[in-house]
């Protein structure tokens, strides 16, 4: 199963920003913008939010501030945004799929309704990967499943939290290989990778974007990419398909959403400002360094994409029999 089209196909699927929005001056809002990230500071969602905040400031001259509200697999931050009353500031959430397209299949009750999010826009996508501790006594991805089986349930893996893409990607790996792994949930990429680099956990099925800097510095090792083709940022790292696991494909995406009571004109302005920011060369260069593919999109196309991805991730949850401990 493939969770998201490859980079080239994704570009065709989601299209490019309208030409008029690239040549005209950015409209401005009379409100400040609050961006809520439902995961810890230092993770990829946080880095994206803060980078976008800088590029979107021309559209929000009264200021933009980024706030991390973590916990419960992104649910606390999501509830904060979804249930906010109308106010004198615009509020959006920038997140990976968890509180947008995944958590409704994992939690019996949520303090918000993911089906009612208003999509501002998709932002970027990045493949997930098998990332291991520098001290793990294996050299290649082919060795990981046999090593885990021989270790009789003692190999641990970090995730961004219960029900996140890293959790589900690890569950997919276990279902494909029969390897038993011990789940250690964290509150985002940053704390998970900190413990991985310190050999407190053995592996992490996280995104290339979150781990590439640590990989290049030798603090962690990326052994295989869960995409149809190799990452342009890591041309020497094989795909899982190359090592005999073609079904091991998982790509994380990031999107901006807002509460259902947000006025349509405000949503339109947010989408325009977001797409203008994504189209800037400096932003595209930053995304490329993180191994991310930009995803310019309209609000309607973003909503359609999120609905499609919701159905795909729910199938993964059912097939892998993932439950929240």
Say which residues have a Cβ less than 8 Å from residue 143's Cβ, sequence separation at least 6: none
For 295-311, write each residue's pLDDT tens digit: 989 999 999 999 999 99
- Taken in order of first residue, the domains within the chain and their CATH numbers are 7-126+252-320 (3.40.190.150), 127-243 (3.40.190.10)
Query: 25-51 pLDDT, tens per residue?
Result: 447 888 999 999 999 899 899 999 999
Q: pLDDT value at position 188? A: 86
Please state the rounded mean pLDDT for residues 192-215: 96
List of residues 6+ apart from 214 with CB closer than 8 A: 193, 197, 220
pLDDT for residue 115: 97
Taking 3-state DSSP, the helix, strand and coil percentages for the chain, each rounded to the nearest 5, stand at 45, 20, 40
Q: Which of 22-26, 198-202, 297-301 has the lowest mean pLDDT?
A: 22-26
Q: Which residues pair with 126 in a beta bridge?
A: 252
pLDDT, residue 6, reads: 46
**210, pLDDT greater than 80:** yes
Rounded distance between C-alpha atoms, residue 116 and residue 260, angstroms:
6
**How far is Cα 119 from Cα 299, in angstroms, rounded to an integer?**
6
Range 123-141 average pLDDT:
96
For position 20, what pLDDT does the model report? 37
Largest CA distance in the chain: 61
Q: What pLDDT does residue 163 have?
A: 83
**Inter-residue contact 297 to 122 (CB < 8 Å):** yes
pLDDT in tens, 149-177: 999 889 999 998 888 899 999 999 999 99
Provide the pairing of β-strand 64-68 with 221-225.
Answer: unpaired
In whole numbers, what is the pLDDT of the chain averaged over residues?
90
Work out the average pLDDT over 115-123.
98
Yes or no: say if 164 and 102 are a contact pair by the CB < 8 Å rule.
yes
Q: Which DSSP string do the residues of 104-117 spell out, in sequence order?
A: GGT-S--SS-GGGP
Q: Between residues 21 and 253, which one has the greater pLDDT?
A: 253
Question: For residues 25 and 304, is the Cβ–Cβ distance under 8 A?
Answer: no
Q: Of 14-23, 129-138, 144-153, give the lowest mean pLDDT range.
A: 14-23
Neighbours of 107 (CB within 10 A): 15
Specify the pLDDT at position 325.
55
> In this prediction, what percent of the chain has a pLDDT beyond 90?
78
């Amino acid at each position: 199963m493939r969770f998201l089209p490859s980079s080239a196909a994704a570009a065709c699927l989601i299209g490019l920003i309208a030409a008029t929005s690239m040549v005209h001056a950015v409209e401005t809002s009379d409100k400040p913008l609050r961006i809520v990230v439902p995961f810890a500071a230092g993770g990829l969602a946080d880095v994206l939010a803060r980078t976008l905040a800088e590029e979107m400031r021309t559209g929000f001259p009264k200021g933009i501030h980024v706030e991390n509200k973590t916990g419960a697999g992104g649910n606390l931050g999501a509830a904060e945004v979804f249930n906010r009353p109308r106010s004198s500031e615009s509020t959006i959430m920038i997140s990976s799929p968890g509180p947008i397209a995944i958590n409704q299949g994992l939690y019996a009750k949520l303090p918000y309704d993911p089906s009612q999010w208003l999509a501002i826009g998709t932002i970027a996508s990045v493949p997930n990967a098998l990332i291991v501790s520098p001290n793990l006594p294996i050299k290649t991805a082919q060795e990981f499943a046999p090593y885990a089986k021989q270790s009789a349930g003692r190999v641990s893996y970090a995730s961004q939290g219960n029900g996140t893409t890293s959790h589900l990607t690890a569950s997919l790996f276990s279902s494909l290989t029969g390897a038993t792994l011990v789940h250690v949930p964290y509150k985002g990429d940053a704390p998970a990778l900190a413990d991985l680099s310190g050999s407190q956990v053995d592996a992490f099925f996280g995104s290339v974007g979150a781990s590439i800097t640590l990989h290049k510095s030798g603090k962690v090792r990326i052994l295989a990419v869960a995409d149809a083709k190799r990452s342009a940022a890591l041309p020497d790292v094989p795909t899982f398909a190359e090592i005999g696991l073609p079904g091991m494909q998982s790509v994380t995406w990031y999107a901006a959403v807002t509460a259902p009571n947000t006025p349509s004109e405000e949503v339109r302005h947010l989408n325009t400002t977001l797409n203008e920011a994504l189209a800037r060369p400096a932003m595209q260069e930053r995304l490329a360094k993180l191994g991310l593919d930009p995803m310019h999109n309209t609000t309607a196309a973003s909503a359609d994409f999120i609905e499609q991805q919701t159905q795909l991730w729910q199938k993964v949850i059912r097939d892998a029999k993932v439950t929240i401990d």
